[in-house]
Amino acid sequence: DIQMTQSPSSLSASVGDRVTITCRASQSINNYLNWYQQKPGTAPNLLIYAASRLQSGVSSRFSGSGSGTDFTLTISSLQPEDFATYYCQQSHSSPRTFGQGTKLEIK
């Protein structure tokens, strides 16, 4: 299985900050990388697919980049509703696997 490792595991930031979360795959996955946001008590919500493509309806303050093994999710200016847990997921090969999550908390 392809292992997905996110860093950091948790992050404290303030409204208005620019934040970057990193995801590393244990082998090359080209650009087959998705990002999800999960708020407490709700299902994950797709933000970014194919490493850099913004899902319809998602704010443009979210962006993704990377290819191969190293990927980043950037939130350009944090809003109160962005405090949540973020997961990366590879869609290169089966089984699809997820990162362990990055919890973004209010400083």
Partner 1 sequence: QVQLQESGPGLVKPSETLSLTCTVSGASISTGYWSWIRQSPGKGLEWIGYIYYSGSTNYNPSLKSRVTISVDTSKNQFSLKLSSVTAADTALYYCARLSFSHGSSALDIWGQGTMVTVSS
Provide the binding-site residues for partner 1, judged by CB under 8 A. Answer: 31-32, 34, 36, 42-46, 49-50, 53, 55, 87, 89, 91, 94-101
Instruction: Report the residue number, 14 or 42, with the smaller CB distance to partner 1.
Output: 42
DSSP string, 70-81: EEEEEESS--GG
- Smallest gap from Cβ 95 to partner 1, in A, equals 4
Q: Which residues of 56-75 are buried (b: 16+ CB within 10 A; e: fewer)?
A: eeeeeebbbebeebebbbeb
- Smallest gap from Cβ 49 to partner 1, in A, equals 4
- Smallest gap from Cβ 44 to partner 1, in A, equals 6
3-state class (DSSP) for residue 82: helix
87: number of Cβ within 10 Å: 22
